[in-house]
């Protein structure tokens, strides 16, 4: 072997040492990353458990039949949250019912029909802005649009504000889920002679239903606890009222009003209301997971 070759090519022992050093470095980096990830997970779980424990410990004591059968009353009158619960259900359901179809159609357009177009890019930009916009701005917008011109707060204005919050979440989720559908699946359906709209409805929606449903649930979970937009739209109502053209009570607004009260019974009702919202959203998520699992 020549001197040049012997000096330029490392021997087997040197290669082995370099390989072992690289392996030890990679193992160390992997161990550190794993430890940090595990620590972050436990910290997050600890905060979550602390919040849930505080919520349950302070709210469970106020749960009674009166909470579900009596409307909000003056301090010391043994009032409940019936009007706030029903008002929240009405506004959340109607807000989701208005916003979900719009978001679904817009997301479908962005994924299936508007790829690369100027209009689609503008719609996507506006949707992303709405997704990150503070909810109080949405409340002010709906106030100028549906409250101030008609001279009063109303339940329908609250529904519209919640619907605007639902739309960008459903748009983003629908577009992302539809883009994950393989092109070969689309081509196979179209190759069989099916029109594009039928391919989208019967194949793409079915394949992406779990992701789309998750997006809808995220939207419902967000609007179920929104307070700021309702303060500018439906305002709240201490009396029983199911009229959408009048101020309507809601759990988030009632919690906001009662939590800072000087009266112990109102503060207790605020904790109960927060507990009901939390477990209501949890029940919706569990039920949807079970239904989607049975639909496979």
Ramachandran class of 116: left when φ > 0, alpha when ψ lies in -120 to 50, beta otherwise: left
pLDDT band of 1, cuts 50, 70, 90: very low
- Asked whether the predicted pLDDT for residue 10 surpasses 50, the reply is yes
Question: Could you identify the residue written with the tokens 């070759």?
Answer: 5
Average pLDDT, the chain: 90
The whole-number pLDDT of residue 8 equals 53
- Report CA-CA distances (Å) from 213 to 135, 188, 191, 264, 285: 22, 25, 28, 40, 10
Write down the pLDDT at residue 296. Answer: 54
244-281 pLDDT per residue, tens: 999 999 999 999 999 989 999 999 999 999 999 999 88
The model's pLDDT over 59-70, given as tens digits with 9 standing for 90+, comes to 999 999 999 999
The DSSP secondary-structure symbol of 180 reads T
Tens of pLDDT, residues 167-218: 999 999 999 999 999 989 888 988 888 899 999 999 999 999 888 988 898 8
Please give the torsion angle defined by the CA atoms of residues 259, 260, 262 and 263, in that order, rounded to the nearest 10 degrees: -20
pLDDT above 50: residue 123: yes
Q: Is the confidence at residue 286, as pLDDT, over 70? A: yes
Buried b (16+ CB within 10 A) or exposed e, 100-120: beebbebbbbbbbebeeeeeb
The CATH number of the domain covering residues in 65-294: 1.10.3720.10
In a 10 Å sphere around its CB, with 0-12 CB exposed, 13-18 middle and 19+ buried, how is residue 216 labelled?
A: buried
pLDDT digits (tens, 9 = 90+) for 26-63: 999 999 999 999 999 999 999 999 999 999 999 999 99
Max Cα distance, the chain (Å) = 102
* pLDDT at residue 72, as a whole number: 93
User: Beta-carbon neighbour count of residue 265 at 10 Å?
Assistant: 17
pLDDT interval class at 13 (50, 70, 90): confident
């Amino acid at each position: 072997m020549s001197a040049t070759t012997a000096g330029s090519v490392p021997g087997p022992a040197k290669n082995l040492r370099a390989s072992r050093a690289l392996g030890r470095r990679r193992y160390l980096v992997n161990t550190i990353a794993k430890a940090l990830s595990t620590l972050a997970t436990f910290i997050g779980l600890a905060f979550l458990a602390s919040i849930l424990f505080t919520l349950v410990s302070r709210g469970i004591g106020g749960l009674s039949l009166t909470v579900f059968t009596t409307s909000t009353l003056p301090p010391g009158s043994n009032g409940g949250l019936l009007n706030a619960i029903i008002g929240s259900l009405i506004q959340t359901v109607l807000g989701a019912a208005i916003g979900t179809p719009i978001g679904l159609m817009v997301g479908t357009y962005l994924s299936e029909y508007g790829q690369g177009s100027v209009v689609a890019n503008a719609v996507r930009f506006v949707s992303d802005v709405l997704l990150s916009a503070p909810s109080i701005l949405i409340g002010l917008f709906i106030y100028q649009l549906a409250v101030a011109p008609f001279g009063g707060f109303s339940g329908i204005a609250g529904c519209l504000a919640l619907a605007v919050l639902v739309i960008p979440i459903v748009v983003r989720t629908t577009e992302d889920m539809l883009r994950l559908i393989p092109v070969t699946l689309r081509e196979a359906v179209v190759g069989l002679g099916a029109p594009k709209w039928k391919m989208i409805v019967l194949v793409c929606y079915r394949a992406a239903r779990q992701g789309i449903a998750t997006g809808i649930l995220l939207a419902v979970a967000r609007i179920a606890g929104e307070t700021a937009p309702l303060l500018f739209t439906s305002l709240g109502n201490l009396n029983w009222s199911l009229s959408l053209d009048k101020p309507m009570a809601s759990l988030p607004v009632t919690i906001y009003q009662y939590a800072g009260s000087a009266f112990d019974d109102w503060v207790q009702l605020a904790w109960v209301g927060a507990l009901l919202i939390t477990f209501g959203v949890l029940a919706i998520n569990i039920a949807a997971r079970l239904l989607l699992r049975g639909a496979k």
